[in-house]
Amino acid sequence: MLKTITPNQNRTSWHKYKKYSLPLAAAVLVIFHAVGFWGLLFSGEPVYFQNLTPMNLLLTNTLLFSFHKCWNKAFILFAAVVFAVGFLSEVIGIHTGLLFGDYTYGDALGFKVWEVPVLIGLNWLMLVYTTGHISNFTNWHWVAKAILGATLMVLLDFFIEPVAMQFDFWSWRQGEIPLSNYAGWLVVALLLQLYFQKADFRKQNKLAPYVYVVQVLFFVSIYLLLTPQ
């Protein structure tokens, strides 16, 4: 005789295993970035792993936003605006030299529109969202939180830039990263962080801090190994 599983039993089973979802997601993030770290530096075939960057970025964002609670209109609008502003600021940067300086994108980040990888918009969204969550751990005024979030974004970009140049993400004219890049990042990031703080959606994503920390560890580690001592 077949045993009938009731809705209450299904809910009980879900709650039983739900507690493992966060450590499992964090472990997946660590494993994928560890594989990427090894592949870029020690596999002997860095180009192959460069080409996996879009998949890694998509996986990271899929995990991150699977932990987001309440997909209301305010959040969907926030996500769309941050994606668009991040992407269009890069388009302006590429074609005018304004905001960040003179740079061009390589092929490692995948499909491009107007010479900018589409996934760059998603990367901006991920960074604004994760650093905004981290800044909310403080009890500061919302403007101070926005400044902290923007600062965390610029801090990460400091380590991303030389790694990006090494692995064909993008390149700067004459190989030098201008101060205008960090100033531009700070301005755009601050505007988006202010929006994050005032947007009316739940900001309780438990995976967000892990995503930022894994990104920092990944890029700082590569930066230290690539930088001559």
Q: Express each pLDDT in 60-100 by its tens digit.
A: 999 999 999 989 999 999 999 999 999 999 999 999 988 89
In this predicted model, which residue has the larger pLDDT, 177 or 174?
Answer: 177
The DSSP string of 195-215 is HHHHS-S----TTHHHHHHHH
pLDDT above 70 (res 1): no
Residue 226: which of 131, 182, 161, 179 has the closest Cα? 161
Tell whether 10 is covered by a domain. no
Long-range own/partner contacts, residues 55-61 (CB < 8 A, 24 or more apart) = 56/32, 57/109, 57/119, 57/122, 57/123, 57/126, 58/119, 58/122, 59/28, 59/32, 60/29, 60/32, 60/126, 60/211, 61/122, 61/125, 61/126
> Could you read off the pLDDT of 12-36 as tens digits, one per residue?
554 566 678 899 999 999 999 999 9
pLDDT above 60 (res 5): no
In this predicted model, which residue has the larger pLDDT, 3 or 138?
Answer: 138
Count of structural domains, the chain? 1
Tell whether 7 is covered by a domain. no
Domain ranges, residue 40: 23-226
pLDDT of 65 reads 96
Tell whether 14 is covered by a domain. no
Phi, psi of 170 (to 5 degrees): -160, 170
Tell whether 148 is covered by a domain. yes
Helix (H, G, I), strand (E, B) or coil at 103: strand
Tell whether 1 is covered by a domain. no
Residue 179: which of 71, 117, 101 has the closest Cα? 101
- % pLDDT > 70, the chain: 91
pLDDT of 17 reads 63
Tell whether 3 is covered by a domain. no
**Which of 121-130, 135-144, 145-154, 166-175 bottoms out in mean pLDDT, i.e. has the lowest?**
166-175
pLDDT of 6 reads 55
pLDDT of 16 reads 61
Tell whether 5 is covered by a domain. no
Which residue in this structure is represented by tokens 């970025």? 57
Does the pTM surpass 0.85? The reply is yes
Q: Say if CB 127 and CB 153 are below 8 A apart.
A: yes
Tell whether 183 is covered by a domain. yes
pLDDT above 80 (res 133): yes
Residue 37: which of 54, 23, 50, 24 has the closest Cα? 50
Distance of alpha carbon 143 from alpha carbon 198, whole angstroms? 10
Q: Measured at the alpha carbon of residue 138, what is the angle toward residues 214 and 213, in degrees to the nearest 5?
A: 5
